[in-house]
Structures are given as C-alpha cells and as structure tokens.
Amino acid sequence: MLDDFKKGFFKTLVILKDYLTEVVIAGGWASFIYHHYLLSDKERKPLRTKDIDLVVPERLRKKKRTVDEF
C-alpha cells in the first residue's frame, strides 16, 4: 500500500515538473523526502496522509500546459 502512495506522489511530481521551481512541497511528504532522499534514512517512516500539500505563490504563470491538461 505504501508503494502505491509513493507511486502516486511521484506521478504527481512528474505532472507538476514545470512548476516545481515555484512550488514547495509541505506536510508529511516533505518529511518523507527529507528523510528518504536528503538523509538517506530509508528505515524512517514519517507519518503522512495520502494528500499532497503544496505551497504555491499567489500568482503562478502558466507554463507549457496546465495541470488539468495532462
């Protein structure tokens, strides 16, 4: 089940790839990224939910496509 959540998370990041320089991942997934990929601590299983919290600027310029065009 956890792997399904990870797949969904990374699929979402691929969709948002054009916007990742302007978007900040927050919430439980931020902790997941921090521990697994910055500290290489794969044993730690931070608490998180299925939803992905994003912090976006008040105005976000349209890139090549919008998220709903995927």
Q: Using the predicted structure, report yes or no on whether residue 56 has a pLDDT greater than 70.
A: yes
3/21 Cα distance (integer angstroms) = 26
Asked whether residue 62 is domain-assigned, the answer is no
| The pLDDT of residue 8 | 87
Mean pLDDT within 28-52: 78
Asked whether residue 6 is domain-assigned, the answer is yes
Domain carrying residue 29: 2-55
Asked whether residue 69 is domain-assigned, the answer is no
| The pLDDT of residue 55 | 92
> By percentage, how much of the chain surpasses pLDDT 70?
87
Is the distance from CB of 29 to CB of 53 less than 8 angstroms? yes
Asked whether residue 15 is domain-assigned, the answer is yes
Higher pLDDT: 45 or 31? It is 31
The owner of tokens 């998220």 is 67
Q: What's the predicted TM-score (pTM) here?
A: 0.70
Residue 36: name the closest of 49, 25, 45 by CA. Answer: 45
2/5 Cα distance (integer angstroms) = 5
| The pLDDT of residue 2 | 59
